[in-house]
Structures are given as C-alpha cells and as structure tokens.
Amino acid sequence: MPTSREAERLLDRLEQRYPDAKCALVHDSAWQLLIATILSAQCTDKRVNQVTVTLFRELPTAVEMATACQAVVENLIHSTGFYRNKAKHLIGCAQAVLYQHAGEVPASLKELIALPGVGRKTANVVLGNVFDIPGMVVDTHVKRLSRRFGWTKKSDPVQIEKELSLLLPPQRWTQCGHTLIEHGRACCKAPTPNCSQCPVVEFCPRIGVDKSR
Ligand code: SF4
C-alpha cells in the first residue's frame, strides 16, 4: 500500500496530464446534475447529455418531474437503459426534493442518499461539483484504477471510497475522481491498459506485479 505522499505524487502527475478534467455531464443547477447523474447509471455521459436536452426542456424543474406521468418520463429517458426503474426514481426523487426539501436539492450526504435512486456515488458527484463539498466519487474507472495503483485491494465501492478518503486529503477528492475517470478513458482502460503510453508508469505497482487487476 503506497503512502499518502506517494499517492499524491501520482495524482500530481495525472493532474498535470489532464488539467481540464471535469464533470462531463452537462448541467446548469444542482437539480439538473442530480437527474443527469441518476440517468448515467449503466449509460455513457454522451448519451445522458443527449437525453437531458429534451428532458430538461419538457420537465424543467422538480415540480414538473414530481407530477409527470411515469410513461412520459419513460419515453423521454428510454435510450439511457433501465428506463422503468430510472423513471420511477426520477419521479420519486422529485417528489422528495419538492415535499421534504422545499424544492431545493439538499447539500448533505445524509440527505442526498435518502432520496430515491441516489447512492453515494451520485451524492458525491452533486456535493463535489455543485456545492463545493469534497466528495470521493467511486465509479467503474475509479475502482479499476485505484486497484491498479495499489491504493486499495477492496472491490466494494463504499469500502474503496473509505480507503481513498483516508489516503488523500479532502481538498483533492473531487478532482481526483475527474482525473482518474479521464485517465481511465484515455489510457488505463478496461480490460487492457495502454501502459506503454502511460504518464504515471513509474508509479504504478501493477507493472510486473499482478496483471489481473
Ligand atoms: S501503468 Fe498501466 S496499469 Fe498502471 S496506471 Fe498506467 S496504464 Fe494503468
């Protein structure tokens, strides 16, 4: 297991390589980012950004979403996959935001994860990108890369979040997520990483150690 200092050195190098890494989901408000992140489960950000153009035009606020017919929402988000469950979550989430939080997206992890369809990943995306509250997002890229870096041996995203939160200072959590996602898409891909082109190859314990991670 690397020390915090070693982990930060690797992260420094990656942040130099990806200085513009940021949230890829197009949004203008906490509400829009919350909805877009729920839709991004098992779906590409590109597809979500296409779908939300129409979705936010037809149902712009929590009021419209909370009172929308499930079939209408399903139709609007169909191409993101798992559309029945997602539609249920969007309507339930809108109702909770409207009736329990006076129409405002709450700014705490505890309140966010109590909303229908909102897990820790979605909550941390919203906290870090809208409220400037550090959030360690663990998606498929962050999970894969942090295991390859030797930052964790865990498989459960909640456990990984906990370990990364201890390894890195809070002020780096949000950008760490963006940077690892960018590196995961560009170079450290699944299932085969492009190690010969990697800007952090000298920091990576995976080389010559365990090729299965
Ligand atoms: S050396 Fe390979 S496995 Fe390690 S971070 Fe770079 S691309 Fe990923």
Cβ partners under 8 Å of residue 26, min gap 6: 32, 36, 49, 52
Domain boundary among 100, 130, 160: 130
207 lines ligand 1 (CB under 6 A): yes
Query: Are both 41 and 94 inside the same structural domain?
Result: yes
Atom of ligand 1 nearest to the CA of 204: 4
Global pTM reads 0.94
**What confidence tier does 211 reach under pLDDT thresholds 50, 70, 90?**
very low
Handedness of CA 100, 43, 86, 50 (dihedral sign): positive
For a ligand 1 pocket test, name from 141, 198, 203 the mutation site with the most ligand atoms within 8 angstroms of its C-beta.
Answer: 198
Q: Using a pLDDT cut of 70, give the percent of the chain over it.
A: 97
CA of 14 from ligand 1 middle (Å) equals: 11
Residue 34 structural domain: 30-130
pLDDT tens figures, 134-179: 999 999 999 999 999 999 999 999 999 999 999 999 999 999 999 9
Q: Using a pLDDT cut of 90, give the percent of the chain over it.
A: 94
14 lines ligand 1 (CB under 6 A): no
pLDDT score of 207 more than 70:
no
Domain membership of residue 194 (yes or no) is: yes
Active-site positions? Answer: 121, 139
Task: Take atom 8 of ligand 1 and give the residue whose Cα is closest.
Answer: 188
204 lines ligand 1 (CB under 6 A): yes
73 lines ligand 1 (CB under 6 A): no
C-alpha to C-alpha distance for 135 and 153, rounded to whole angstroms? 20
Atom of ligand 1 nearest to the CA of 195: 2
Query: Are both 96 and 143 inside the same structural domain?
Result: no
Question: Cα–Cα–Cα angle for 82, 187, 176, nearest 5°?
Answer: 75
143-163 as b/e, with b when 16 or more CB fall inside 10 Å?
A: bbbbbbbbbbebeebeebbeb
Domain membership of residue 125 (yes or no) is: yes
Query: Are both 73 and 117 inside the same structural domain?
Result: yes
Query: Are both 9 and 79 inside the same structural domain?
Result: no
Q: Please count the structural domains in the chain.
A: 2
CA of 90 from ligand 1 middle (Å) equals: 37
Residue 133: the pLDDT is 98
Domain membership of residue 213 (yes or no) is: no
Query: Are both 51 and 112 inside the same structural domain?
Result: yes
Domain membership of residue 208 (yes or no) is: no
pLDDT tens figures, 48-105: 999 999 999 999 999 999 999 999 999 999 999 999 999 999 999 999 999 999 999 9
C-alpha to C-alpha distance for 180 and 202, rounded to whole angstroms? 16
Residue 152: the pLDDT is 97
**Alpha helices (H) in 67-202, listed in sequence order:** 70-77, 83-100, 109-112, 120-130, 140-148, 157-167, 170-186
206 lines ligand 1 (CB under 6 A): yes
Cβ partners under 8 Å of residue 156, min gap 6: none
Q: What is the 3-state secondary structure (H, E, C) of 164-213?
A: HHHHCCHHHHHHHHHHHHHHHHHCCCCCCCCHHHCCCHHHCCCCCCCCCC
Average pLDDT, whole number, for the chain?
A: 95
Query: Are both 120 and 63 inside the same structural domain?
Result: yes
